[in-house]
């Protein structure tokens, strides 16, 4: 079947190039305000005619016309009208002057979309309070409505009742399969390596697919207000980091971000090698160049690693001639690399092609060595468990402006994934009377799956107020004889109202052909990526969403989103130990169910002035129905009906002191605790759970503070950042668990762990 | 260098705290009646009543006396009482329910506000029988072993559940010993069959619904080769869905106990129950027992 897609794709290409030969003249460009923010919905008209076009969500416009040089008028209610002469095939950057104190909130993009450069801009996120002082893009997202951290203190993202593995996180277009350091406490991204974060919380264009919760695009810095070399050095309790950027606007860019933990370096090398060691690092390297023909080429690379080692010496036998040393090593790493080529084939036809590789691997190794004076060899046994995933992808995304009313996006995307759910290697060497052993259990090799998607979407501007995005995504999936075609409609409407407000609505279907078995803790490296199979069907999502957005006064903006999601063929692990056993088929340890979520998200923000920030309230519910786990529908683990979030920052360019505050008030987290106990039919004591997730902990309340002290010494800008997490000391549980004195549960105690008054500090030097 | 590590670890753990809570959910817990019974078609009805306790209660369980238990069956639709056996926690009745019939139970007790009820059906006969072929198979060591085959007719158009338990006769001690069942049949997959701690296997007919089915297993080489009389005892039961779900949840709870870390609700297993206003199980089965010589 992939051949069918290739043929379709070729036909489309032929059609487009043929149409090009007969095409008329086009002029194009991008429209910005004086702060380099793109402006959407600007009317671009050939003066004195009805030939008009509108700028898109990114401020880009393309206008078809016939004369050699034409007067063009740019009009928008919030900006001064601009009249200029444009030539055919021009590619211009147009700046519009904001009318005095006009509200420049960006009304564009689909319902449920949010980012930090257009929709929620100028919030000085570097001043946000961060856990332990680690600036973290995930913690920025956690402050948005509909996005929750899950377990207290963690850097995970649970979006509108979805699981973590249902988010597709793309770093410069490449998926990353474990974006966690420290078991989920910190993300793997140096905050400076992310220039903009874009989140599609449910609805998305047909270009995105393969996940049923969200798509998160992380884009590194590629342009700047000025060309030149820039950088900073950062020191936190966990890491030392450096960021270097060399931006040559219009010609190319180079950025390098790297962090490494430093406290292990204080210990002697011998100690690190023989007794205790722990370190993490990540590196992100991006390079781009504009070619002579104005095409662009871009290379991105990312590598992360967590490493933990502990060694114990057992000399309990009191026999100094015989010593056993056991070493336990745990490590996991990501490697991402991608090559992009952006080409402009004609003024109304652009393409972006990407080839990427993303690999994630975790390993646990237990090694025991015996040092015996009576044995000439060192008898050694080693047990190593490897898990991982490799993804090789190709994308070719095209944009074709058919006329002033229709813009067509289409493309072909392929992802070939190789899964290693568990490979256990056992070796034993050097024992005097036993032959050496080298045995492999579980899956000896990676097993492959293929996912190919063909998509197309037309942006149809019906009139100046009404825009439809009508698209589809057709996906073919193949794994081990299991073949599946799915069709995903992507429908969205945008209606610009009269009072600088907008109404949006949409419906999407998404399928997910990959999932992660959660073996106890979200973000843990033990969790296993697995493919959809004949038995474990792809997850499905249907979502509808409506939203209303409005510019309020001159400084504020507000939005209200209402959504409803239904999810089918969800997977939960029913037996943690069996699911993690590489010798057993993981499919035997999972159960299947469905879920539903609905909610309303209110968002109010201020983007201008020294004091900026936002407040939000989300009412959201999420449920799961796994009849093999419980006889009835139950509340999802991270269901939090009420969540109020407030982020405020004070950044005064004339002051040496800046401040940031986070305040969150909402429903407590759900846990499952035993309420009673009883004797079963065999006479054993069993715990009684009246339901899953039956205990909602106390009201969640958290107040975080950051204080930033700016300093200038030796010609270098310096910053001291001080943080306090949960400054009010509210007992927000990290975990609530029943602790038993023995297997008969004769004494049970409910313990609660929580994080309070967690300090953080960071020192930054900019150059 | 140690002091640096201590300083850093102290810094990181400064904000971690722990306390003990007593949630209302547990404080307000009210004792429930626990009903436990495996009812076999063709045999008298017998059950055990005990109480449940709050999770943090250190007391032991008590048998419940003075319960007013009424049962009626589809063949005799009039309420009849069960009687308490002193010194034991058993309630017995001389009522016999046959395969394919149903039973309704209602319990009243002054210590429990609501009536405790349950309605169950007894599975139908499936014409099960067992065969033995001496040294007819290959055991897990690759040696010849006795092949034991159980044949039955699975009723179609409905989910059915079964339990198979095989014993071998130990002539030395003169008693039946459970034989560990090896799941080699392709229709007994990980998700529809469970080997219980008593060495029996429970399974559903999901992969052979409506067919004549033969389940085979091979005993270890030479296990009963010296036996002069009885060799194997095959207990095959057509069990109710509640029976299957109950034992499956017990097995999952047993597995979860072995995991020491907190895994959300993955290691909190709700034990299946078909008792309204109480907990426990009224499991039903229709048995056939064969002794293979």
- Identify whether residues B167 and B236 lie together within a single domain: yes
Q: What is the pLDDT of residue A612?
A: 95
User: Other CB atoms closer than 10 Å to residue B146's CB: what's the count?
Assistant: 25
- Identify whether residues B111 and B152 lie together within a single domain: no
* B11 within some domain: no
* B75 within some domain: yes
Cβ contact B258–A688 (<8 Å): no
* B55 within some domain: yes
Contacts of A748 (CB under 8 A, 6+ apart): A674, A677, A738, A739, A740, A741, B55, B56
- Residue A317's pLDDT band, with cuts at 50, 70 and 90, is low
Q: What is the pLDDT of residue B3?
A: 54
Given a cut of 50, whether residue A23 has pLDDT beyond it is no
Q: How far is CA A346 from CA A398, B171, B259, in A?
A: 12, 91, 62
Task: Enter the DSSP assignment of A577.
Answer: H
Q: What is the pLDDT of residue A21?
A: 40
- Identify whether residues B98 and B149 lie together within a single domain: no
* B93 within some domain: yes
Helix (H, G, I), strand (E, B) or coil at A672: coil
- Identify whether residues B165 and B83 lie together within a single domain: no
First CA to last CA distance, chain B: 75
Q: What is the pLDDT of residue A1?
A: 46
Contact assessment for residue A509 and residue A540, using Cβ atoms and an 8 Å cutoff: yes
Sheet of A25-32, strands arranged across: A60-65, A25-32, A91-95
Q: Does B34 touch chain A (CB under 8 A)?
A: yes
Report which of A679, A413, A258, A430 is spatially closest to residue B64, judged by C-alpha positions. Answer: A679
* Both tokens assigned to A420: 């290693």
Q: What is the pLDDT of residue A500?
A: 82
Name the residue range of residue B60's domain: 28-122
- Residue A18's pLDDT band, with cuts at 50, 70 and 90, is very low
Count of the separate structural domains present in chain B: 2
Cβ contact A750–B21 (<8 Å): yes
Q: What is the pLDDT of residue A597?
A: 98
Helix (H, G, I), strand (E, B) or coil at A271: helix
User: Other CB atoms closer than 10 Å to residue A498's CB: what's the count?
Assistant: 7
Given a cut of 60, whether residue A401 has pLDDT beyond it is yes
Tens-digit pLDDT profile for chain B (293 aa)? 445 455 555 555 667 888 888 888 888 899 999 999 999 999 999 999 999 999 888 888 888 988 999 999 998 888 888 988 876 658 999 889 999 999 999 999 999 988 999 999 999 999 999 999 999 888 888 899 999 999 999 998 889 999 999 999 998 898 999 998 777 777 787 778 888 878 889 999 988 888 899 998 899 988 888 888 889 999 999 999 999 999 988 888 887 776 554 445 557 888 999 999 999 999 999 999 999 98
- Which of B213, B240, B267 is a domain's end point? B240
Q: What is the pLDDT of residue A738?
A: 81
- Identify whether residues B82 and B48 lie together within a single domain: yes
Which residues of chain A does CATH 2.60.40.1120 include?
A: 2-95
Closest chain B residue to A674 measured between Cα atoms? B55
Q: What is the pLDDT of residue A320?
A: 63
Report which of A376, A192, A206, A211 is spatially closest to residue A282, judged by C-alpha positions. Answer: A192
Q: What is the pLDDT of residue A269?
A: 87
- Identify whether residues B117 and B42 lie together within a single domain: yes
Report which of A589, A662, A683, A595 is spatially closest to residue A633, judged by C-alpha positions. Answer: A595
Q: What is the pLDDT of residues A527-564, one digit of tens each?
A: 999 999 999 999 999 999 999 999 998 899 999 999 99
Q: Give the best residue of A678, A703, A729 to mutate against chain B (max B CB count within 10 A).
A: A678
User: Other CB atoms closer than 10 Å to residue B280's CB: what's the count?
Assistant: 29
d(CA A319, CA A303): 45
- Which of B240, B262, B277 is a domain's end point? B240
Which residues does residue A484 pair with via DSSP β-bridges, in sequence order?
A: A477
* B92 within some domain: yes
- Identify whether residues B86 and B134 lie together within a single domain: no
Q: What is the pLDDT of residue A579?
A: 86
- Identify whether residues B103 and B134 lie together within a single domain: no
Cβ contact B8–A693 (<8 Å): no
Chain A residues with CB inside 8 Å of B264's CB? 518, 520, 637, 671-672
* B17 within some domain: no
Q: What is the pLDDT of residues A616-640, one digit of tens each?
A: 999 999 999 998 888 899 999 999 9
Given a cut of 70, whether residue A57 has pLDDT beyond it is yes
Helix (H) or strand (E) holding A125: none
* Both tokens assigned to B282: 């009224």
Across the interface, of B51, B55, B265, the residue whose CB is closest to A692 is B265
Which of A263-267, A762-766, B227-231 is most confident? A762-766
Q: Give the best residue of A675, A751, A755, A758 to mutate against chain B (max B CB count within 10 A).
A: A675
Report which of A308, A329, A326 is spatially closest to residue A264, judged by C-alpha positions. Answer: A308
- Identify whether residues B187 and B203 lie together within a single domain: yes
CATH of the domain at B90: 2.60.40
Sheet of B144-153, strands arranged across: B129-138, B144-153, B212-218
User: Other CB atoms closer than 10 Å to residue B258's CB: what's the count?
Assistant: 11
Q: What is the pLDDT of residues A666-707, one digit of tens each?
A: 999 999 888 999 999 988 889 999 889 999 999 999 999 999
Q: What is the mean pLDDT of residues A653-662?
A: 93
- Identify whether residues B102 and B135 lie together within a single domain: no
- Identify whether residues B105 and B179 lie together within a single domain: no
Q: How far is CA B36 from CA B74, B85, B254, B278, in A?
A: 21, 15, 18, 11
User: Other CB atoms closer than 10 Å to residue A163's CB: what's the count?
Assistant: 28
* B289 within some domain: no
User: Other CB atoms closer than 10 Å to residue B81's CB: what's the count?
Assistant: 12
Q: What is the pLDDT of residue A729?
A: 92
Look at chain B and count its residues: 293
Q: Give the best residue of B19, B21, B189 to mutate against chain A (max A CB count within 10 A).
A: B21
Helix (H) or strand (E) holding A474: strand A466-479
Phi and psi at B254, nearest 5°, equal -65, -45
Given a cut of 60, whether residue A85 has pLDDT beyond it is yes
- DSSP E strand boundaries for A607-641: 611-625, 634-635
The domain defined by A2-95 folds into: Immunoglobulin-like (2.60.40)
d(CA A721, CA A725): 13
Chain B residues with CB inside 8 Å of A587's CB? 190-191
Given a cut of 60, whether residue A26 has pLDDT beyond it is yes
Cβ contact B56–A749 (<8 Å): yes
User: Virtual CA dihedral for A704, A705, A708, A709, nearest 10 degrees?
Assistant: -150
- Identify whether residues B118 and B133 lie together within a single domain: no
Residue range A113-766, CATH number: 2.40.170.20
Bigger pLDDT: B142 vs A233: A233
- Which of B62, B94, B122 is a domain's end point? B122
What is the residue-averaged pLDDT of chain A? Answer: 90
Cβ contact B53–A631 (<8 Å): no
Interface confidence (ipTM) of the complex: 0.89
């Amino acid at each position: 079947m992939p051949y069918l897609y290739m043929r379709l794709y070729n036909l489309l290409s032929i059609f487009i190039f043929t149409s090009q030969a007969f095409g008329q003249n086009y002029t194009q460009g991008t429209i910005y305000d004086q702060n380099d923010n793109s402006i959407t919905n600007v009317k671009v008209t050939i003066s004195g005619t009805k030939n008009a076009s509108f700028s898109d969500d990114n401020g880009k416009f393309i206008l078809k016309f016939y004369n050699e040089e034409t007067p063009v008028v740019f009009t928008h209610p919030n900006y001064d009208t601009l009249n200029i002469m444009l030539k055919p095939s021009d590619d211009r950057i147009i700046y519009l002057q904001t009318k005095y104190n006009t509200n420049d909130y960006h009304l564009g993009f689909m319902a449920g979309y949010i980012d930090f450069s257009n929709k929620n801009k100028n919030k000085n996120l570097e001043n946000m309070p961060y856990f332990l002082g680690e600036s973290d893009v995930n913690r920025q997202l956690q402050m948005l409505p509909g996005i929750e951290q899950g377990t207290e203190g963690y850097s995970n993202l649970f979006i509108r009742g979805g699981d973590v593995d249902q988010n597709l996180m793309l770093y410069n277009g490449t998926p990353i399969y474990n974006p966690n350091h420290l078991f989920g406490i910190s993300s793997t991204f140096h905050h400076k390596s992310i220039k903009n974060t874009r989140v599609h919380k449910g609805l998305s264009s047909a270009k995105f697919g393969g996940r049923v919760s969200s798509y998160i695009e992380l884009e590194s810095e590629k342009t700047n207000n000025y060309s030149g070399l820039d950088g900073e050095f950062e020191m936190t309790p966990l890491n030392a980091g450096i960021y270097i950027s060399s931006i040559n606007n219009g010609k190319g860019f180079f950025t390098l971000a790297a962090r490494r933990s430093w406290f292990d370096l204080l210990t002697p090398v011998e100690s690190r090698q023989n007794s205790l060691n722990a370190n993490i690092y990540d590196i992100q390297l991006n390079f781009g160049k504009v070619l002579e023909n104005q095409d662009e080429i871009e290379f991105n690379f990312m590598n992360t690693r967590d490493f933990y080692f502990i060694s114990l010496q057992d000399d309990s036998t009191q026999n100094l001639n015989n010593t056993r040393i056991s070493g336990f090593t745990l490590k996991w790493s990501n490697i991402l690399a991608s090559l992009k080529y952006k080409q402009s084939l004609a003024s109304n036809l652009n393409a972006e092609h990407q080839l990427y590789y993303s690999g994630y691997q975790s390993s646990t190794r237990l090694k025991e060595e015996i040092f015996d004076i009576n044995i000439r060899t060192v008898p050694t046994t080693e047990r190593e468990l490897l898990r991982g995933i490799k993804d090789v992808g190709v994308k070719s995304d095209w944009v074709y402006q058919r006329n002033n009313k229709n813009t067509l996006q289409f493309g072909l995307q392929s992802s070939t994934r190789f899964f290693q759910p568990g490979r256990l290697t056992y070796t034993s060497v050097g024992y005097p009377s036993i032959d050496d052993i080298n045995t492999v259990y579980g899956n000896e090799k990676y097993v492959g799956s293929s996912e190919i998607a063909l998509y197309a979407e037309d942006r149809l501007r019906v009139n100046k107020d009404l825009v439809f995005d009508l698209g589809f995504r057709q996906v073919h999936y193949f794994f081990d004889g299991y073949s599946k075609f799915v069709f995903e409609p992507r429908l969205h409407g945008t209606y610009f109202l009269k009072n600088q407000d907008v109404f949006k609505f949409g419906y999407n279907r998404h399928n997910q052909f990959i999932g992660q078995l959660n073996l106890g803790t979200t973000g843990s490296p033990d969790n296993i990526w697995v493919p959809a199979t004949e038995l474990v069907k792809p997850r499905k999502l249907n979502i509808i969403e409506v939203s209303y957005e409005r510019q309020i006064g001159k400084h504020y903006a507000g939005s209200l989103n209402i959504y409803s999601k239904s999810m089918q063929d969800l997977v939960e692990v029913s037996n943690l130990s069996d699911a993690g056993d590489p010798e057993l088929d993981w499919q035997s340890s999972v159960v299947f169910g469905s879920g539903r979520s609905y909610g309303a998200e209110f968002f109010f923000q201020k983007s201008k002035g020294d004091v900026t920030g936002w407040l939000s309230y989300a009412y959201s519910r999420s449920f799961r129905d796994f009849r093999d786990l419980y006889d009835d529908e139950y509340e999802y683990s991270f269901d939090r009906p009420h969540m109020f979030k407030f982020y405020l920052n004070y950044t005064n360019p004339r002051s040496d002191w800046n401040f940031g505050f986070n305040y969150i008030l909402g429903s407590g987290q759900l846990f499952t605790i035993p309420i009673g106990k009883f004797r079963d039919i065999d006479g054993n004591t069993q715990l009684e759970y009246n339901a899953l997730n039956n205990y909602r902990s106390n009201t969640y309340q958290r107040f975080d503070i950051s204080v930033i002290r700016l300093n200038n010494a030796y010609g270098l800008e310096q910053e001291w950042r001080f943080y306090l997490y949960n400054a009010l000391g509210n007992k927000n549980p990290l975990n609530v668990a029943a602790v038993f004195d023995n297997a008969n549960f004769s004494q049970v105690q409910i313990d609660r762990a929580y994080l309070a008054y967690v300090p953080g500090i960071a020192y930054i030097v900019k150059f | 260098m140690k002091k640096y590590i201590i300083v850093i670890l102290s810094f990181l753990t400064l904000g971690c705290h722990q306390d003990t809570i007593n949630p209302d959910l547990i404080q307000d817990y009210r004792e429930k009646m626990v009903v436990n019974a495996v009812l076999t078609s063709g045999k008298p009805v017998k059950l055990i009543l005990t109480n449940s306790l709050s999770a943090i209660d250190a007391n032991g369980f008590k048998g419940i006396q003075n319960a007013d238990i009424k049962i009626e069956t589809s063949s005799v639709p009039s309420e009849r009482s069960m009687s308490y056996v002193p010194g034991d926690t058993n309630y017995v009745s001389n009522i016999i329910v046959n395969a394919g019939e149903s039973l309704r139970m209602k319990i009243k007790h002054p210590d429990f506000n609501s009536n405790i009820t349950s309605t169950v059906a007894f599975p139908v006969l499936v014409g099960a029988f067992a065969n033995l072929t001496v040294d007819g198979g290959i055991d897990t060591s690759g040696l010849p072993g006795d092949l034991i085959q159980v044949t039955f007719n699975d009723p179609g158009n409905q989910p059915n559940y079964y339990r198979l338990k095989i014993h071998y006769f130990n002539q030395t001690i003169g008693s039946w010993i459970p034989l560990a069942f090896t799941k080699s049949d392709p229709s007994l997959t990980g998700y529809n069959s469970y080997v219980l701690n008593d060495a029996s296997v429970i399974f559903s007919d999901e992969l052979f619904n409506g067919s004549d089915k033969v389940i085979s297993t091979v005993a270890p080489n030479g296990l009963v080769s010296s036996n002069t009389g009885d060799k194997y005892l095959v207990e095959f039961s057509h069990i109710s869905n509640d029976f299957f779900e109950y034992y499956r949840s017990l097995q999952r709870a047993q597995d979860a106990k072995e995991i020491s870390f907190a895994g959300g609700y993955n290691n909190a297993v709700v034990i299946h129950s078909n008792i309204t206003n109480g907990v426990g199980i009224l499991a039903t089965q229709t048995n056939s027992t064969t002794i293979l010589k």
